Amino acid sequence: MIALVRVDNRLLHGQILETWIPRLGIREVVVADDEAAASDLARAAMTLCVPPGLEVRVLPVDAVRWADVAAADRPVLVLLREVSALARAAGAGLTPVLAPSVNVGNVHFAPGRRPITPSVFLAADEVAALRALASSGFALEARAIPSEAPAGMNEIERRYAAAR
pLDDT tens per residue, range 10-36 = 999 999 999 999 999 999 999 999 999
Count: domains in the chain:
1
| Residue 163, pLDDT score | 95
C-alpha distance from residue 84 to each of 77, 93, 101 (Å):
18, 15, 17
Q: Please say whether the beta carbons of 114 and 40 come within 8 A.
A: no
The parent domain of residue 155 ranges over: 2-162
Mean pLDDT of 136-150: 97
Give the rounded percent of residues in the chain with a pLDDT score beyond 90: 96
pLDDT at 164 over 90: no
Task: Assess contact for 104 and 127: CB atoms under 8 A.
Answer: no
CB 140 within 8 A of CB 153: yes
Distance CA 150, CA 129 (A): 19
The span from the CA of 91 to the CA of 133, in Å, is 10
Nearest 5°: phi and psi at 157? -65, -40
Residue 7 confidence (pLDDT) above 90: yes
Whether pLDDT at 86 is above 90: yes
Q: How far apart are CA 36 and CA 110, in angstroms?
A: 21
Q: Write the CATH number for 108.
A: 3.40.35.10
CB atoms within 10 A of CB 158: 13
